[in-house]
Structure 1
Amino acid sequence: MPIALNGFEVFEQVGKHANLFAPIRADVDKQARALLVKCLKHKSIGLDVLRDVREALGTSQFGLILEGLKDAEVKSVVTRLDKHHPELKKSSAGWRRDHLNALADGSALPSPAPTKAKASTAKKSKTTPSRLKSDVVDVYKETGKKSS
């Protein structure tokens, strides 16, 4: 029966002994970035977790991760975290990247959902269209009401 490998523990030890793992440094960097991007894009990651990830990585490492994100990835994450922002649809990729960083560092908050105006409760008066106004139609309406 195979024993499950604890990836977090392995990465911790690789980080502590980086000089021993120098030949795979580029692969470690690439996989670390890929794992963090996958984490940020996951649907269960909310604003609180995004802020915790930023705090755990540090400002500079988190900034490098954000700079490495593709524009589509940034748009996906920002749209999920702040879907009601009025400038989101017409904004540039740079603005979305800056906004994601601002959401992560707490200097920006998600925009609240727009409030919908309640439908008017006043009933419209029922008027007969002019095309239905004639003596024949009036007689037909009156006889139809009596027989119902």
Structure 2
Amino acid sequence: MAAEVDGLAILCAITETPQAFPAIRRELNKAAQLLVTKQIKARDLTLDDLRHVRAALGPQPFALVLDGMKDSEIRNLARRLDRHDPGLGTATPADHRRRLLALAAGADPVPAPAIRQRERRSRPDAASPSPETA
């Protein structure tokens, strides 16, 4: 049985000595984009996770990764991470990207609306006599 390759160690070696890997430079860029996009699209990604990804990459590379994602992926992610923002339903793809960048930079998601309790109409108590019958 072959031993499993330590992908992280290999990627670190490639980034530390890029001159040893000139033929794969373009594929490396695509692979990096693919890996980060996959992390961002993970179903269990939280807002804190998104902020950690942005902190690890830096603001500009993070924005470039978002720019490389499909509009539908960005829309779904924005809606998932900011469920109560009413503007996201009719927002443009650029608006969704701006909102994700703001959330990743530390903006708070729109809070859930307060639950309104319906006022119950007071019913006359059946046990108490009405003024007419007393």
Same fold (TM over 0.5): yes
Which of structure 1's runs of 4+ aligned residues deviate more than 3 A?
A: none
| Unaligned stretches of 5+ residues in structure 2 | 125-134
2-structure distance, mates of 1:4, 1:69: 30
SS in 1 for 2:18: coil
| Unaligned stretches of 5+ residues in structure 1 | 126-148
1:79 and 2:70 correspond:
no
Please name the residue that 1:112 is paired with.
Answer: 111
Query: How far 1:90 sits from its partner (Å)?
Result: 0.7
2-structure distance, mates of 1:25, 1:104: 28
1-structure distance, mates of 2:35, 2:103: 21
Query: How far 1:43 sits from its partner (Å)?
Result: 1.5
2-structure distance, mates of 1:34, 1:121: 55
Query: How far 1:8 sits from its partner (Å)?
Result: 1.3
Please name the residue that 2:41 is paired with.
Answer: 41
Q: Any idea what the Cα deviations from partners look like across 1:17-61, whole Å, max 9, x if unmatched?
A: 111111011111111101111100112111111111111111221
Query: How far 1:119 sits from its partner (Å)?
Result: 2.5
Structure 2 length normalisation: TM-score? 0.86
The higher radius of gyration belongs to 1
Q: Report the count of equivalent residues.
A: 124
Query: How far 1:124 sits from its partner (Å)?
Result: 6.0
SS in 1 for 2:89: coil
Please name the residue that 1:139 is paired with.
Answer: none
Please name the residue that 2:121 is paired with.
Answer: 122
Q: 1:2 to 1:123 in 2, by over 3 A?
A: farther
Query: How far 1:86 sits from its partner (Å)?
Result: 1.3
Please name the residue that 2:127 is paired with.
Answer: none
1:63 and 2:66 correspond:
no
1:99 and 2:99 correspond:
yes
Query: How far 1:113 sits from its partner (Å)?
Result: 1.2
Quote the RMSD (CA, aligned, Å): 1.4
Query: How far 1:123 sits from its partner (Å)?
Result: 4.8
